[in-house]
Structures are given as C-alpha cells and as structure tokens.
Amino acid sequence: MHAQGSKYLSNAYGYRTTLYRPMTRTMVRKAEAHTASAFFSNEDVVSVAPQDDDDPFQNASADVMKELLQYRLTNSIPWFQTVVGARQDAEVHGICVAKAYWKYSEKNTTERQFRLDESGQVMRDPLGVPITWDAPAKAPDVDQPVIDLIAPENFRIEPGADWRQPIETSPYIIQLIPMYIQDIEEKIASGEWLPVASSALRNATDLDDDVTRRTRELGRVPGKDADAWKPRPFDIAWARENIVRWGGRDWHFMSVGMAGELLTEPRPLEEVYLHGMRPYVMGAILLETHKTYATSKIELVRDLQRAANDDWNLRFDNLKLVLNPRQFVKIGQGIEVADVRSFMPGKVVLTKDPVNDIKWDRPPAPDSSAYAEQDRINLDFDNLTGDFSNTSVQSNQQVEQTATGMNLMSSTASIIPEYELRLFAETFIEPLLKQLIKLEQAYETDPVILAIAGNRAQLFQKYGVSEITDTLLNQSLTTKVNVGVGATNPKLKLQNFAEAADLLSKIFGPTLVQGINFEEVVKEIMGLAGYKDGSRFFQQDFNPQVAQLKQQLTEAQKKGGNKASAVDPSFEIQKIQMQQQGDIQEAQIRAQTDQANAQAKLHEAQLAEASENYRSVLAAHKEMLMQGRDHAHQHALAHANAQRQMPAPPPQNPFAGPGV
C-alpha cells in the first residue's frame, strides 16, 4: 500500500489509477525465504567447538552444549519465527534487536509432609500411623531461556556509540515495554516492584506519537487507544528497562512513564543477569561505516518503487482511456448524459445527428517505450537488491543464449544475498547464540534436560563423563553458524558438494572412501535435497563398502571358479572388517585415555574446589578468632576503665583500735 502522505491518497487522484506494485514486499519475502533456506535446511544449524581441541573436558562441554542449544531452540524457543522475523525487521527498519534472558516463575502447589508436634516429633494416630498433611509449597512453573524480538522503535541507544559494537559501547540502553496496568499492579502487589501511584500508571499510558508504529498499525496513534468501554486495568502502560553505565559499572533499574517513576532500585547488572552481560543483540544486513543505525533496503529502493508505481498507473490511465474513451456531447441536442455514460449492449441512444453530436476522445495506445521503461526500472531494482529474475534474463538476450552465461549471471546475482546472510549471521545470529550459551551456563539446572543432552552427546561413551556439572558447562567455547557460499541455493550447494567430492576422489583415489563419515555425508546430502534427516532411509549400522564387496563376491561365485577375479572380494571384506575392528579398538583406547584425562581433570578441579573451600573455612575461623580476641580485649579495657573511675576508699588510722 502507498505510504502516508502519498499523492495517490489525495483528492486529486480520486478518479485516477492508484495501484501499488508490491516490489518491496516481494523483495522482503524473498529475503525471508533465503534466510529460511540457509538456516533451516537441516537440523545442525549451529556448531559449538572448544577453544582447545586437545582438551577432552572442553570437547565434552562443546558436545553437551550443542545438544542443549538444539533442545532449547527446538522445544522452548520459537527459533524459526525469531530468525525470519529478525530478518524482516532488518529489511524494513535497517536493524533488528533481540533480548535473551532466563525466565523463571513458581506456582503454588502442595507437598505431602509429616505433621510435627511442638517438640518436633512426628505425630501419630491411635494406631501408631504417622499423620501426614498437604503443606503449601512452591514448584517451578516456567524455567527456560527466552528470546524476545524487540520492535526497533521501542529500543534506545546512544547514536554516538561505536558502529561495530553499539550495544557494548553505548552508555545507556532503554527498552520501552508495553504492559497492561493489571500486570504492573500484580508485580507491585507481589513485592517484586516498588509501589507506584495509580495516577503515574495512568499517565504512563500516553506515549509520544511514533511515526513507525503509526505506519505499521494503519493510522493507530500509540497510547491513544484507551476506549471508554474497556476497563482501565486493560489499558497499556509503558514501562522502561534501563541499563546505565555509571562509575565504570553497569546499573539496572525499571521505571514507568516519562517522569521516570522507579519500579526497582538501581542494582548492578550482574545481580540481575548472572552472566554479567547486557542481554541485548542488535544486527543488520547493510554495513555502513561510522553509522549506528544502518539504512534499510526499503529506503534504498524507495525511489525505484515510486517510479514503478508512476509508470504502471500512467500506463493504466492511458489504457482506460483507450478502452473507455471520453465523449464530447454537443449542448442543446436533448441527449441524456446518463445514456452516454452507461455502456450496455443493444442500448439505444436518441440523437438528431450522431456524427456531429457525439465525438469520442480516444488517445493513442501506449507504445513499447512505456513497457521498455518498466523493464529498465525492474532491472535497476534487481541490480540494487541482488535479485535474479526473468527481467534480468530478458535484458541480456546475447548472454542468456548459453548455459555458461546463465550460470555466470546467477552466480553474480547470488553474491549480494549471500553477503547479506553472512552479515546477518555475524552481527545477529552468532552473538545471540553466544548469549544463549551464557544463559545455559549460568541458569540451566533442569535434571531432565541435562540428562537428555548428555545422552544425545554420548558423554559417557566418548569421554567417560557420567555427570554434568557446572565445571563441565562453564568451559570456553566458540559458536559458529553453518552458513556459507551458495547458502541461498540448495541446488548450488549440492552441486558444489558433488564437485568437491569428485575432486577429492581424483586426488586421493579409491582409498578416500574408507575414511568418509557415511552418516554425515548422508545427512548433508539429504538436507540439501529437502529432508532434515536421512537416517530413516537407511538401516542401522549399514556400511556401503561391505555391501559392495559382498555383492562382488556373490557375482564372482555365480560366474564360477574358472575365472577368478584379480582381487578376491572375500579377502577385501575380511580386510575391511579387520580394519573396522582395529578402528573400534583404537576408538576404545582413545575413549579410555580421554576418560582417564577427563577424570583426572575433574579430580583436579574437585581438589582445587575443596582446597578453596578449606581456605575459606580457615579464613572464616581466623576472622572469628580475631573478632573474639578483639572482643575480649575491648571487654578488658572497659573493665579497667570502670575500675579507674570508681571512687577510692577513705584512709584508715592504723593506730585506732576497734570501735574507736
């Protein structure tokens, strides 16, 4: 639709063609499709690797963290909508903002307990059976990571921040949070937030007019939706989450309204978010140096969109006049204007002189220049956005005659979408996943989810680790997103994969097949073919090398023993089986070695932790002794001072006898 203030929405165009060519909408939808194809072609979108590959403890931590991320992104977080929605924000607004945090809440429940008497003993009935009762208790209701996609107009940072790291270098961060008044009142009643006057909450419903939100919501003015029929607790008030750097330290507090009524006391950021990081990530798809807020793609193609609309509407106006021309009717001839304006097959219009009384004003039909101009606009639009459409093909009649020329045009056009995907992954996806890893390391305590992740990662089989501890999770890890060249075109990725495999086979020969990971190859090929996982198409423990050699052995046996093959297939099968057994034994020895190393590191970490605890106990004991000594010294000084302040007894006469 046309933007507000467009000439097509004015009264002057009330009887003109006002169509809108959704070229920008098509551009955004194609970008969303490219993003979905690149990030969700298979399940292994994220790769987590240790910083030290030789450390088995870090390898175990990387495997379990990958499975934790996989579980959370599949079951707890709507990851597909978040990624595609962030790409849409980046296309429309130039930036996309997300907040990653851990959400924890409890619910009221009951717990069966023994009833105790005043002395703390279990009460029993006359038959000696312990008496139980349902005691009120708290149980976790929500305990999971959350990723919220924030509307860019509800996010404030310092425009002078470093354009490479705007979140980390901005001296302040403000997030505007729309909340129902009843939700704010519930947090105040529970003691989570400070009490605020009702008048302050009502004043917080009025937000300054926002052009972005008004455009998105079709003329709705933000903060002006307090309908008379709606109860006041259902009105939206604007709370603010504030992070301010002061004295070299980040402070966090909540406020409401433009007046800044405090909902929480200022606290250090690491007390609110245990990982100590600012929980926001801001990404982009266009790189503009020394500019915090990058330009959106819609802003780049704005003039081309207007030119396309003008060309289309002018041509349609011309076609309408050609098909339904204007009529000049002579005055005073008794001709009804309504009869001339309404077209009806077989209708009769009475006139004295049809040749001279009515004349048709039929303009010339639009020529080829109008359509050629539309093609040029489409070509400029495709060149700017990096799209490869039919217009791009038709505009290069000489080049398109060859398959090589088509391939060159396609590969050149895909450079820009792949560049945008890489920039989107580097500035948004990878920092967001790093935030999620920090959250898992700081907050994850669910034993069921930890057990599932440990089982899928095969910790015990690979590293001999039977328990997931904080030491195991809190290892130095790196996160990468599996997006590379050709990520927007699965057929191109499959072709590149086949060419790489063919080149490797030519270099290393048939021996290369013995070292290929069959499961990973099948997973990659089936993922590029549109299936997330191809394991269901193959039997478990299937080895294509053994199957091929068995087939050769069967064919040799059918031909007879007279013509023996140069290489006995049975010998090759035994050779492969022996090699597999050797590989299994080597893997077992390596697993035992890794297990011993992991246990040694775990034992070392436990000893270090025990030593640290012992030092803490000694320090506390020493401090208690010092406090006791100081207390005794102060008591002795107080007693001596009291003795000195007492009045001295009167002197007695040594010569006086008793009773004198």
* Among candidate residues 343, 361, 379, the one where a domain is terminated: 361
pLDDT for 414-463, tens place per residue?
A: 788 888 998 999 999 999 999 999 998 888 888 878 787 777 777 766 66
Quote the pLDDT of residue 228.
Answer: 57
Spatial separation of the C-alpha atoms in residues 414 and 408, rounded to whole Å = 10
Residues 524 and 609 in one domain: no
Residue 579 has pLDDT above 70, yes or no: no
Residues 530 and 570 in one domain: no
Spatial separation of the C-alpha atoms in residues 164 and 158, rounded to whole Å = 13
- The residue among 139 and 473 whose pLDDT is bigger is 139
Does any domain span residue 106? Answer: no
Residues 257 and 176 in one domain: yes
Residues 536 and 563 in one domain: no
What 3-state DSSP class applies to 249?
Answer: strand
Give phi and psi for 250, each to the nearest 5: -85, 130
Quote the pLDDT of residue 557.
Answer: 67
Residues 201 and 167 in one domain: yes
For residue 422 the two structure tokens come to 């890489």
Residues 551 and 525 in one domain: no
Residues 497 and 602 in one domain: no
**Which of left, alpha, beta for 386 (phi over 0: left; psi -120 to 50: alpha)?**
left
Residues 214 and 245 in one domain: yes
Residues 194 and 181 in one domain: yes
pLDDT for 534-573, tens place per residue?
A: 666 666 666 666 666 666 667 766 766 544 444 455 555 5
Does any domain span residue 171? Answer: yes
What 3-state DSSP class applies to 175?
Answer: strand
Q: Name the pLDDT band for 603 (thresholds 50, 70, 90).
A: low
Does any domain span residue 201? Answer: yes
Q: Which residue, among 240, 266, 273, 232, has the nearest Cα to 252 in the 3D structure?
A: 266
Does any domain span residue 175? Answer: yes
Does any domain span residue 228? Answer: yes
Burial environment of residue 316 by CB neighbours within 10 A (0 to 12, 13 to 18, 19 or more): middle
CA distances from 446 to 63, 469, 563 (A): 18, 12, 65
Residues 241 and 160 in one domain: yes
Give the H/E segment covering residue 157. strand 155-157
Residue 274 has pLDDT above 80, yes or no: yes
Does any domain span residue 123? Answer: no
Q: Which residue, among 336, 328, 327, 330, has the nearest Cα to 353 in the 3D structure?
A: 330
How many domains is the chain built from?
4
Distance separating the N- and C-terminal Cα atoms of the chain: 124
pLDDT for 622-638, tens place per residue?
A: 666 666 556 555 666 66
**Residues above pLDDT 70, as percent of the chain:** 67
- Strands 46-50, 477-481: pairing is antiparallel
Residues 494 and 521 in one domain: yes
Spatial separation of the C-alpha atoms in residues 67 and 504, rounded to whole Å = 31
Ranges of beta strands (E only) in 438-485 are 477-481
* Degrees, nearest 5: CA angle 434-439-440: 95
Average pLDDT over residues 402-413: 54
Q: Are 318 and 366 in contact (CB under 8 A)?
A: yes
Quote the pLDDT of residue 330.
Answer: 82
Q: Which residue has the tokens 């937000």?
A: 207
Cα radius of gyration rounded to whole Å, the chain: 39
Query: To the nearest whole number, what is the mean pLDDT of the chain?
Result: 78
Q: Which residue, among 505, 487, 483, has the nearest Cα to 496 in the 3D structure?
A: 487
Quote the pLDDT of residue 614.
Answer: 59
Does any domain span residue 114? Answer: no
Residues 523 and 550 in one domain: no
Full residue range of the structural domain in which residue 336 is found: 328-361
Does any domain span residue 586? Answer: yes
Spatial separation of the C-alpha atoms in residues 239 and 2, rounded to whole Å = 33
Most confident of 136-140, 346-350, 464-468: 136-140
Quote the pLDDT of residue 659.
Answer: 45
